[in-house]
Chains A and B, each alone.
Chain A
Amino acid sequence: MKLLAELVLLSLTTILANNYVLVKFLGICPFLGVSKKVGTAVGMSVAVTFVMTVASVVTYFVQMLLVHFNIEYMQTVAFILVIAVLVQVVEMAIQKFSPALYGALGIYLPLITTNCAVLGVALLNVQESFDFVHTLVYSFSAGLSFMLAIVLFAGVRERLETADVPKALQGFPIALVTAGLLALAFLGFSGMKF
């Protein structure tokens, strides 16, 4: 029971108070790049959440191997390799088993390799020395926090299309200021004590 409560807390903190995109600044590139429409934002974040969770599980065991052979300094190289291979495998698997889903996610899948949120989660899991269950919950919540941020932001941006924005602010600058206001809202959660 105590473990369950702790895991729920960890998950809520990761999604709200320590939001990956808006508070920790991980995964900003896709956050700004594929947030023009809600539909694509949902597709991208589902793919990211999936890869993130699987990558964290795999890197958990890779880290054990690294520690066993005393080569922790290879961490960065090993992790990025695992993620790159994994993204490729996931891409092929989805293509084979669910062509419909592949059609919807296709172009976003390769982009995930260079999404710093995925490598970030893998590294943070090690830094926080989470056990297996915590790793699983933490990385899944990280994916959800990415989803929450990008879907909210896409919703705002869809409305921004029709807004009358000063010329100098059009496009990228206004998107950044909007993200800033969104981050301000999320800052409110950090005052919450769970």
Chain B
Amino acid sequence: MSNLKELTKGLLKENPIFVQFLGMCATLAVSTSVINGIGMGLSTMVVLVASNIIISLIRNFIPNKVRIAAYIIVIAGCVSAVEMALKAFVPEVSKSLGIFIPLIVVNCIILGRAEAFASKNGVVKSALDGIGMGLGFTLALCILGTIREILGNGTFLGIQLFGEGFAPATIMILPPGAFIVLGCVLAIINLITAKKERSDK
């Protein structure tokens, strides 16, 4: 039961983007389309799960003083592996995500989970936590990607949604759109939680 909770908490209750505001750089930069969001989300998830497992395995051997440095090395190793795998198997995704793949190393979600969770919990729990957080990150990226792709390009997963006459608001897939869409989504989430709290009372 508690293992299931570790898995699901990352999806909504502790969603890394919408609730914890972690990993903003990658979020804003790659949410231009749904497919980019999925690519980035899954790559981050693989790194997150791998680094969580490794760190929870070696957590008792790392001296407390150099733990952050040790975590970063583990994470950087995982990221390099993912980077090479992407380049080999899905070169298009690797190209469109570009520099943000190596930058997963400095994504605060991963270091944050390593420090806050994997360094204190067992392997199974840490792995589940990684999967949950990774899925939550992917979900958030997909939501943002969907909104921006539909408004900014008139497509969903590359399929044309509207007729010929549709003039997309290109601004949405440009940098300003990223900030504005995320701001609005957060405001909507605030509205929903406020309403829920009121009805709970």
The interface of chain A, by Cβ under 8 A from chain B, is 22-29, 32, 73-77, 80-81, 84, 113-116, 119-120, 123-124, 127, 166-170, 172-177, 179-181, 183-184, 186-187
When distances are taken between beta carbons in the complex, the residues of chain B under 8 Å from A179 are 179, 183
The 7 closest A-B pairs by CB, nearest first: A180-B179, A176-B183, A180-B180, A25-B29, A177-B183, A183-B176, A184-B176
Known: A123-B99, A173-B183. A76 touches B175 (CB 8 A): no
Q: Which of B69, B105, B175, B178 has the most CB of A within 10 A?
A: B175
- Asked if A187 and B175 make an inter-chain contact with CB atoms under 8 angstroms apart, the answer reads yes
Q: Could you pull out 17 A-B pairs where Cβ atoms are within 8 angstroms? A: A25-B29, A25-B178, A28-B25, A76-B83, A114-B108, A116-B103, A116-B106, A168-B190, A168-B191, A169-B183, A173-B183, A175-B183, A176-B183, A177-B179, A177-B180, A183-B176, A183-B179
B window 26-49: CB within 8 A of A: 28-29
How close is B190's CB to chain A, nearest CB, in angstroms? 4
Known: A29-B25, A73-B80, A179-B179. A81 touches B187 (CB 8 A): no
Known: A73-B80, A123-B99, A169-B183. A180 touches B176 (CB 8 A): yes
Known: A77-B76, A77-B77, A187-B176. A25 touches B186 (CB 8 A): no
- Asked if B176 and A119 make an inter-chain contact with CB atoms under 8 angstroms apart, the answer reads no
Known: A29-B108, A116-B25, A176-B183. A77 touches B73 (CB 8 A): yes
- Asked if A176 and B105 make an inter-chain contact with CB atoms under 8 angstroms apart, the answer reads no
Known: A22-B175, A176-B182. A28 touches B24 (CB 8 A): yes
Tell me the total A-B contact number using a CB cutoff of 8 A: 115
The interface of chain B, by Cβ under 8 A from chain A, is 21, 24-25, 28-29, 69, 72-73, 76-77, 79-80, 83-84, 99, 102-103, 105-108, 111, 171, 174-180, 182-184, 186-188, 190-191, 194
Q: Which of A75, A80, A115, A170 has the most CB of B within 10 A?
A: A80
Closest to A174 in B: B183
- Asked if B111 and A120 make an inter-chain contact with CB atoms under 8 angstroms apart, the answer reads no
How close is B57's CB to chain A, nearest CB, in angstroms? 19
When distances are taken between beta carbons in the complex, the residues of chain A under 8 Å from B29 are 24-25
Closest to B77 in A: A77
